Amino acid sequence: MRPTPATSPRQAALWMIGAIVAFTTMAVAAREVSPVHDSFEIMTARSAIGFVIVAGFGAATGKLGGLTTRHLGGHFLRNIVHFTGQNLWFWALTMIPLAQVFALEFTAPIWVILLAPLVLGESLTRIKLIAAAFGFAGIVIAVLPGLGLHGLGLPGPGLPGPGLPGLANLNPGVLAAAAAALFFALTSILTKAMTKDTTRGDPVFAILFWLTLMQFCFGLIGAGYDGTMALPTAATLPWLALIGGAGVLAHLSLTTALSLAPASFVVPLDFIRLPVITVVGAWAYAEPADPWVLLGAAVIFIGVWLNLRATLRPKQHIQKATNP
């Protein structure tokens, strides 16, 4: 029987805090450079800086020597999927409020909870379905006001008069953020598939190495496809460097968390980013703190809490039984 890594939900939760901080930082930095750089240029710079960090760490620790091309096809598939989702995410950040981007992105954990049993063989328990239902309800509450929920007779901030729900404001930014969520869910599932078995899966370093190298190549092709490419300036370089560093930290944290606990436990923790980015958007860009978004975040948190409690309880019972 092949050994599998021991699960540690508490450690996974701590790693997800790092991922939340990194993804939030990356969103703000991307918003700052978006007037100069398109999403492909941002991805190119981010991956180049990330590759230098990862390769430097690998050289210093001797991990480069153990790097192989095993599962290269799996890395390519994972990175194509993630690259597509990340570009859609960066593009959406320039078109709609930060909180709305994150709220739409948070349909990803719902997809993970529902698809992980099919792809990874994880169990789909009643409590996970309930958590997914709370998550979906929270997303509906948080997102639909900005899409015209006033047409249903409910108030929507700054929306004059009744209208057809959703259609009037269903703009490309909303569609991009929603599509990014599906690609992020697939990325999480593919990552978990590569880390669930220590004898066959790749270590975290290998995933980060191929992530930054492959996505640098993808970004370079996309940025140069139209024959023009804006180079970093003195004003944008620090922000691009921040995006690169935050990108490595985000994926280090997320990949490590996925190696420590089931995907259906890890990914819903990312919901906490919604109230965080709501505060950041209000403070940095004067984006109104939509009460519907905050209410949706509260409903989402209930689902997250239920999933956390159900995942932690079996381990707590075992500890109590062995330490009377």
Q: Give residue-wise pLDDT tens across range 131-186.
A: 888 878 887 776 665 554 444 444 444 444 444 444 455 678 878 988 998 898 88
Give pLDDT < 50 ranges for the chain: 1-5, 148-167, 316-324
Looking at residue 3, its pLDDT comes to 39
Looking at residue 151, its pLDDT comes to 40
> What is the tens place of the pLDDT at every residue in 113-135?
778 788 777 777 888 888 888 87
Looking at residue 277, its pLDDT comes to 87
CB-based contacts of 73: which residues, under 8 Å, 6+ apart? none
